[in-house]
């Protein structure tokens, strides 16, 4: 997907953040969301009335907090590209990834949802138009597709491979990182990679781990 020409100056440093377990997305990818909780309906309405930006991050279940649930410091901010409301009061939105961020601090508000001050400095490369794909090992990419097919079959998952195999390498790697049912920690590791090449390598490692593990223990669950 071709990125819109959005610069850091266009993106607010204070953003609403939606914590979602086992959910990541990347710049240039689209995350469909079904918004039904009152706090996130309020978040959506506020975003639509402003610049349409919403951040997504995962809850960090390894940190026990007596106050609000902890979240991982790294997430991705997206812009609402499409939205509809349903007769029962839900919002169906498509959030297009813009850039990853690092949380600086939470901002106290009277809103039902949470707002954070974030920095985009660490992921400035996310806003570059050109995808740096030339260093991706094509042999390893084909190996990734082959492994993922086995992985999907093993865990009774399905997708249209005729479409998947035609997308650009970066889109393929990012999409697989998003849709594969990995653990929160594994998904976070993929989100925090610094390059598409590193993400490709880690995807291969994770899928290989499940394939080998399943071969040794037929009763192994993915989580």
Q: Which residues of the chain have pLDDT under 70?
A: 1-4, 66, 129-135, 214-223
What's the burial of 215, exposed, middle or buried (CB within 10 Å: 0-12/13-18/19+)?
exposed
Q: What pLDDT is attached to residue 28?
A: 92
The whole-angstrom separation of Cα 161 and Cα 198 is: 23
Query: Mind listing the pLDDT tens digit for each residue in 122-134?
Result: 999 898 855 555 5
Locate 17 and state its tokens: 């953040």
Q: What residue spans define the domains of the chain?
A: 8-127, 138-216
For 8-127, CATH gives: 2.30.130.40
Interstrand relation of 91-107 and 74-85 (parallel, antiparallel or unpaired): antiparallel
Q: Are 76 and 191 in contact (CB under 8 A)?
A: yes
Residues linked to residue 97 through DSSP beta bridges, in sequence order = 78
Nearest Cα to Cα of residue 124 among 4, 38, 7, 5: 7
Q: What is the pTM of this model?
A: 0.88
For 138-216, CATH gives: 1.20.58
Decide whether 8-127 matches 138-216 in CATH topology.
no
Interstrand relation of 30-35 and 14-19 (parallel, antiparallel or unpaired): unpaired
């Amino acid at each position: 997907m071709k990125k819109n020409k959005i610069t850091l100056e266009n993106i607010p440093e204070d953003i609403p953040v939606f914590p979602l377990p086992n959910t990541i997305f990347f710049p240039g990818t689209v995350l469909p969301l079904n918004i039904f909780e009152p706090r996130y309906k309020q978040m959506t309405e506020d975003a639509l009335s402003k610049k349409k930006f919403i951040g997504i991050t995962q809850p960090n279940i390894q940190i026990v907090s007596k106050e609000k649930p902890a979240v991982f410091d790294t997430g991705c901010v997206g812009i609402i590209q499409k939205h509809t409301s349903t007769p029962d009061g839900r919002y169906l939105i498509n959030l297009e990834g813009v850039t990853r961020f690092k949380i600086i601090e939470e901002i106290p508000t009277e809103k039902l949802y949470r707002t954070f001050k974030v920095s985009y400095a660490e992921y400035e490369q996310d806003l570059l138009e050109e995808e740096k794909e030339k260093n991706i090992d094509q042999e390893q990419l084909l190996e990734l597709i082959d492994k993922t097919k086995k992985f999907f079959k093993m865990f009774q998952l399905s997708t249209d491979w005729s479409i998947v195999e035609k997308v650009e390498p970066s889109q393929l790697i990012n999409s697989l990182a998003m849709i594969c049912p990995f653990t929160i920690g594994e998904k976070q590791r993929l989100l925090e990679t610094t390059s598409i090449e590193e993400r490709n390598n880690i995807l291969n490692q994770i899928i290989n781990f499940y394939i080998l593990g399943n071969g040794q223990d037929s009763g192994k669950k993915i989580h």
